[in-house]
Chains A and B, each alone.
Chain A
Amino acid sequence: MRLFYNLRVSLSQSVLPVLAALLVCSGPARAALDISVVGGDTGAQPIAVAPFATPPDINFDVAGIVEADLVRSGLFTALPRADMLETPSAVNQVDYRNWRAVGMENLVIGSLSRSPKGGVAVRFFLLDVYRGQQVLGFDMPAVTPDQLRVVSHQIADLIYEKLTGTKGYFNTQIAYVTASGYGLARRFELIVADADGYNPRTIAASRETLMSPAWSPDGKKLAYVGYEKGRSAIFIHTLATGELRKLVSERGINGAPVWSPDGSKMIVTLSFETNPDLYLIDIASGQRRRLTDHFAIDVEANFSPDGNTIAFTSDRGGSAQVYLMPTAGGEPRRLTFQGKQNQRPRFSPDGKSIAVVNNDGGRYSIALVDVQTGAMRKLSDGPLDESPSFAPNGAVIIYSTIGRGGAELATVTVDGRVRQRMRQPGEVREPAWGPYSR
């Protein structure tokens, strides 16, 4: 699914049109991942999202999705609908006293209407309850009813950015791998879904292992590791067309693909020459350059956002730890010293910290390491957490964890305050958060 949009945000009292074109639309919404939120009440802003006025022939709760997105971020608590003293859908219907009385700071109201061409248009306002003022007002472009989820996420993004100063991440996608069964019955699927777990699409399915999905920086492609008759390979899947390219399949390991920030190159782990080392591959030409040559395991590379530094896992010091190395070449420097092992580094979007899997001798947790100082802060409790991946705004990390029913996904805010679980039957693993839609 590709979404192109172009938003203008304004503080003015008037309603602004949003210029947008929804080029590709997914099928009817369905949720595979069941989401629950833990924490998030302390320090969260109270917000009321009143039900949007909706024509009787449209059965879609835009306000419900907007509210769920905002609450899921952990930065907001929503007023239950039963506690709303009125349900206005236009600014002139609002009696601010009714919202101050229930302790609200912000109020979202809106309405859906049929456009002349048969689409559905959504208009919404974000109102400052104490000042009695409009903060945002938008006419979203008319869409078909099955695109209303996307519009709802766009609205949540606009509200989130206005109130937090940080870009929203609700209209993004995640990739993950599901695995089920044992032995010959084992089956793997590579899935792409909306960030709230809706609209899952199977990108690849195999009886052999699928792993390590990696989004291209433009969000148009997914690289991943697959196996063909027991031989691993790195594939590049173009989402819009389904085109599949085998980038490399040497003898031994072909693993851990990551894209360079400009999308032109990939670092992978190959073991065909001696043992697992890092290789830089030019995607267009296929030409490659060996980046490390060490008898230890070198694996799980990741580019800094400026492309100048590579973080990777190596056990060259005796245990698996995270090292940093200039992309241009040079001696690796060990970054992590805390705990028994540290693995699978992922740079934050601002490049200042690196998420890792930390093994403290018993538990595997997600931790944040300061790139300059090496100071470490744990974000999760384990015991078996792995595969951290940043949301594109850097505020949230998605990772895999073990729940009651087996492997499932979880998210945590980078302050460690709010967590949520995303689960479905079978194992769900290896999440990768996609970039902003363009």
Chain B
Amino acid sequence: MNKNLVLIAALAGLTLAGCASKGSKDAGPNPGAYDNGGISTSGSGADGVGAGSAIGSGTGAAGAYSLDSKTIYFAFDQTDIDSAGQTVVDNYGRYLSSTPAAKVRLEGHADERGSAEYNIALGERRAISVARALKAVGATDAQISVVSYGEERPAAPGHDEAAWAKNRRVEIAQ
């Protein structure tokens, strides 16, 4: 447990402060249950964006569990989960299946292109895609709620592919 907290504190230095505080909180309830799963996030970042790749590159083969990676990214107008996203899903799936009292809220987002209400629908479709994937690795319906914000709450400003790639996402919130 102490080792985990230290590791998380170290991660905080490598990633955003916001991630770190959430990470500490995530580790609170029962870290041992989903810790040491040997899951590395170093393979993440196929599209080169997001906290997943930052953490992965920072810890490398340390092999720490990571509930710090809370975001799954998507291609344009798509809902398929790539390998980096599946890593996030696997971590949270294990956490949820081993922690029946835990709940997550899946917040679906789209990039700014196209109409706002279609993007709300697309964001929901992405969040449901993640919900299905979480259930496939052991989470239950009761642990998952879904909300879509479409293009309304971008993670990154800017009007180019670099920003859009960061905004086409599902965030796992607790």
Contact = CB atoms under 8 A, between A and B. Distances in A.
Interface of A: 179, 182-183, 186, 188, 209, 211-212, 227, 230-232, 252-253, 255-256, 269, 271, 275-276, 297, 299-300, 313, 319-320, 341, 343-344, 357, 359, 364, 383-384, 386-387, 402, 406, 429-430
Given A186-B153, A209-B153, A269-B121, A386 B146 contact: no
Interface string B112-126: 111111101110110
A252 B146 contact: yes
Interface of B: 18, 77, 105, 107, 112-118, 120-122, 124-125, 128, 146-150, 152-155, 157, 159
Most buried by B among A230, A275, A319: A230
B159 A384 contact: yes
A341 B122 CA distance: 14
B124 A386 contact: no
Contacts of A256: 117
B117 A212 contact: yes
A344 B152 contact: no
A384 B112 contact: yes
Most buried by A among B105, B117, B148, B152: B117
16 contacts: A182-B157, A209-B149, A211-B116, A212-B117, A230-B147, A232-B147, A253-B120, A253-B148, A255-B117, A256-B117, A297-B121, A343-B118, A357-B114, A364-B113, A364-B114, A429-B116
Contacts of B125: 275, 297
Given A182-B157, A231-B147, A255 B120 contact: yes
Contacts of A179: 152
Contacts of B105: 230
Contact of B117 (A182, A183, A300): A300
Nearest to B158: A406
B80 to A, nearest CB: 15
B118 A344 contact: yes
A313 B147 contact: no
A252 to B, nearest CB: 6
A276 B147 contact: no
Contacts of B157: 182, 406
Contacts of A227: 147, 149
A341 B116 contact: no
The 3 closest A-B pairs by CB, nearest first: A344-B115, A343-B115, A256-B117
Contacts of A386: 114-116
A192 to B, nearest CB: 19
A211 B150 CA distance: 11
A269 B115 contact: no
Contacts of B122: 297
Given A386-B114, A386-B116, 6 more contacts: A182-B155, A230-B105, A230-B107, A297-B118, A343-B118, A387-B115
A253 B121 contact: yes
Contacts of B113: 359, 364, 384
B154 to A, nearest CB: 7
A276 B122 CA distance: 10
A276 B121 contact: yes
Contact of A299 (B107, B117, B154, B159): B117
Given A211-B116, A297-B118, A300-B115, A276 B124 contact: yes
Contacts of B114: 320, 341, 343, 357, 359, 364, 386
A182 B112 contact: no
B124 A271 contact: yes
Contact of A387 (B116, B128, B147, B155): B116
Contacts of A211: 116-117, 120, 150, 152
B128 to A, nearest CB: 8
